[in-house]
Amino acid sequence: MIYALLITEGADPELVRIPVKGSSLGSEVKADTTTDLYSYLSSFSPDEHMWEYYTVLSPVLEKGKQQYFAIDFKRGDRVQNDVIAGAVVSWLRVVRDNIAAVDKARQEKIAAGVTAAPAAEIQVEVQEVEEEKNIYPENEPNPDAMPW
């Protein structure tokens, strides 16, 4: 799942979720002109960030056992500093805060479920198992009798 800031002319920036799966993530059978998500992310050098550039998404019809659309990721123009400061940074913080709140709620739910069962009610049943001897049919060789 990718959270992206949809920036279009004449409209306010809008936070959108883009589900990315299948060959859009990475595929060896895609066309040479198609860039999958993993290739796109690895195209940035260590001193670059993907949020410093516009990302252009295009549908690509692919044919395998069936026809389907994949996403082609292309690097667009560099985002101007005023757009980064005014829109991108604030929306990145919104996404970060939402993810942190969801993580915290899940941790609290898990912790509440773990402490709900009193320790006195938890019983472990131990069964003794008799040691089985390897018994082999008389008409087959016994591997324990092999010289190696």
Helix (H, G, I), strand (E, B) or coil at 129: coil
Q: What does the H/E/C string look like for 59-91? A: EEEEECCCEEEEEEEEEEEECCHHHHHHHHHHH
pTM exceeds 0.85: no
Residue 138 scores a pLDDT above 80:
no
Any idea what the Cα angle at residue 10 is, between residues 99 and 51, rounded to 5°? 35
Give residue-wise pLDDT tens across range 9-20. 888 888 888 899
Give residue-wise pLDDT tens across range 81-103. 877 767 788 888 888 898 899 99
